[in-house]
Amino acid sequence: MARLVVIGGDAAGASAAGRAKRLDPDLDVVMFERGGHTSYAACGLPYLVAETVDDAQDLIARTPTEHRAAGLDVRMGHEVVGIDLEARRVEVRDLASDRTITEGFDDLVIATGASPIRPPLEGIDCSGILGIRSIPDADAIDAIIDDRHPERAVVVGGGYIGLEMAEALLERGLTVTMVEMQDAPMATLDADMGARVADAIRSLGVDLRLGTGVEGFEAADGWVTAVATGDGELPADLAVMGLGMRPNVALAADAGVPIGPSGAIATDARMATRVEGVWAAGDCVESLHRVSHRPVSIALGTHANKQGRVVGTNVAGGAARFPGVVGTAITRVGATEIARTGLNETEAAAAGFATVSALAEGHTRAFYYPGAEELAVKVVAERSTGRILGAQIVGGPEAGKRIDVLALAVWTGMGAEEFSMSDLSYAPPVAPVWETSMIAARLAAKAVAADPVQD
């Protein structure tokens, strides 16, 4: 019987394992997970800390028992510590017994995910400085709040996880300072849209320090007491790192599986690595950006699930392809929804595009209809063709998911002019007659027409 070994039991790994087994019931599928949970929604962790979600079990889509009932051989608390590509076997440590075993494979899926970035700053190893990635991480923050009753938290980094954690800590009654090195939070947006996010964060009561780098951590009796920044010392009883994720590629790299220019594992569209019979999916791989045509490392669950499914199909003899990404993402802080797709101005310039941008402000419903919320939509278009390269939205409830229609415009290479006259839905309680995205696209098209590129 052919054997598939899967390393990692969350979104990508469990999707791959489950799909392969469903399509080929005769396949022997062994899934190694070093932690204590499978198929958990890491995306829900900030809401667990905030107590919006009551119980960690609520975040689990499939337990090890359910995976086993579906025919998978799931080994929890087992860490793969080496891959021998020549002998086609993995070396695995059983963390409970500290025994090492080996397991042979015909196909191997590497789905080792990513880890929060922890720069080697002075004092970073003292207690009370946590990243968030797993249920135990959320439990640890929860336990600190319950047991030590911290009053002041510092969130390091103003990306979406930093934002979500800042709000969670506010919910738990802490005062929160957020430190961000850039001049605006949410570096995946242009600075003008990031400034709107800054206003939203501050309106919640977060002390937001922009243009401020963290230099180290002070501690007393081994516990963090302050975060040292270029802007002085910030008192802290708890610090949460939100500096982004780094793909877990050491295992693959040590085995000789090629790593791509973004620092994540390189695969083709079938999610096959450069090594025959070795596949990879999720946060540990890089994806093709459909606009810049460059490999990018974008750690999102939306990609991990799809890529896992593609791998599972292909291992079982199918012919699935992951079509790439356009960098669509969404989050919410307080009542403010923040979304983006495609390339922002900086990314577009780095990819060699000359661009025009247009900003429109409007409402989520007809302007007179109760509950209409303000939103701003920015469209970035290619100067020579008018093609929509990217878009960003910041606004009140119901604003954010409007990014999806723009994401499809970017995905298909639609022009701003065509988008501005496209057939989008309208009724006063749910939308204005002119969607703000259509107005932004029309303004972008106008800017293109007024400023044609002379090649």
**Taking CB under 6 A as the criterion, which residues in 121-160 touch ligand FAD?**
132-133
164 vs 200: CA distance, rounded Å: 12
Is position 80 an interface residue for ligand FAD (rule: CB under 6 A)?
A: yes
* Piece of the chain touching ligand FAD by CB under 6 A; list 2-10, 204-212, 264-272, 393-401: 2-10
Measured from the CB of residue 430, what is the shortest distance to ligand FAD in angstroms? 24
- CA 27 to chain centroid: 31
Q: Does 161 bind ligand FAD (CB under 6 A)?
A: yes
Residues 311-340 that bind ligand FAD (CB under 6 A): none
Q: Which stretch in 28-36, 52-60, 99-107, 357-365 sits in contact with ligand FAD by CB under 6 A?
A: 28-36
CA angle 45, 46, 52 (to 5 degrees): 95
Half-sphere exposure of 98 (CA within 13 A, CB side): 0
d(CA 375, CA 396): 6
Interface with ligand FAD, residue 11, by CB under 6 A? yes
Does 304 help bind ligand FAD (rule: CB under 6 A)?
Answer: yes
Among 197, 236, 251, 380, binds ligand FAD (CB under 6 A): 251
Q: Which of 23, 43, 56, 210 binds ligand FAD (CB under 6 A)?
A: 43
Round to whole Å and give the CA distance between 455 and 452: 9
Q: Which range in 10-18, 196-204, 209-217, 315-323 contacts ligand FAD by CB under 6 A? A: 10-18
The closest alpha carbon to 389, from 426, 433, 356, belongs to 356
Name which of 8 and 386 has its Cβ closer to ligand FAD: 8
- Interface region with ligand FAD, contact rule CB under 6 A, candidates 6-14, 317-325, 343-351, 373-381: 6-14
Question: CA-CA distance, 31 to 13, in Å (whole number)?
Answer: 8
Binding mask of the shown chain, residues 162 to 181, with x at each position contacting ligand FAD by CB under 6 A: --------------------
Residue among 235, 232, 239, 195 at smallest CA distance from 212 = 232
Q: Cα(59)–Cα(51) distance, rounded to whole angstroms?
A: 12
Q: Does 32 bind ligand FAD (CB under 6 A)?
A: yes
Between 305 and 344, CB nearer to ligand FAD: 305
Of 123 and 244, which CB lies nearer to ligand FAD in the complex structure? 244
Would you say 209 and 178 are in contact if contact means Cβ atoms under 8 Å apart? Answer: yes
Q: Which of 4, 5, 8, 238 binds ligand FAD (CB under 6 A)?
A: 8
Sheet architecture: strand order including 388-395: 329-333, 336-342, 388-395, 374-382, 355-363
Among 301, 318, 324, 334, binds ligand FAD (CB under 6 A): 301
Tell which residue, 134, 46, 42, has the closest CA to residue 333.
Answer: 46
**By C-beta, is 79 or 190 nearer to ligand FAD?**
79
Q: Contact between 287 and ligand FAD (CB under 6 A)?
A: no
Q: How far is the CB of 325 from ligand FAD (least distance, A)?
A: 11
126 is annotated as an active-site residue: no
Report CA-CA distances (Å) from 284 to 42, 220, 323, 339. Answer: 15, 36, 17, 23
Q: Which range, of 11-19, 142-150, 270-278, 334-342, touches ligand FAD by CB under 6 A?
A: 11-19
Query: What token pair was written down for 68?
Result: 């086993």
Among 12, 224, 325, 339, binds ligand FAD (CB under 6 A): 12
Q: How far apart are CA 100 and CA 295, in angstroms?
A: 36
Contacts with 251 (C-beta within 8 Å, 6 or more apart), sequence order: 7, 80, 81, 82, 83, 110, 112
Does 77 bind ligand FAD (CB under 6 A)? Our answer is no
CB of 139 to ligand FAD, least distance (A): 13
Count other C-beta atoms under 10 Å from residue 321's C-beta.
Answer: 12
Active-site residue among 41, 43, 140, 228? 43
Residue 411 found at the interface with ligand FAD (CB under 6 A): no
Nearer to ligand FAD, 14 or 443 (CB): 14
Report residue 449: phi and psi, to 5°: -65, -35
- Contact call for residue 45 and ligand FAD (CB under 6 A): yes
Nearest approach in angstroms of CB 197 to ligand FAD is 16
Cβ closest to ligand FAD, residue 299 vs residue 438: 299
Question: Which residues are 169's β-sheet partners?
Answer: none
CB-based contact 306:271 (threshold 8 Å): no
Rounded-to-integer distance, Cα 56 and Cα 137, Å = 11
- Catalytic residue numbers, as ranges: 43
Using CB under 6 A, list all residues that contact ligand FAD. Answer: 7-13, 32-35, 42-43, 45-46, 79-80, 111-114, 132-133, 161, 248, 251, 282-283, 299-302, 304
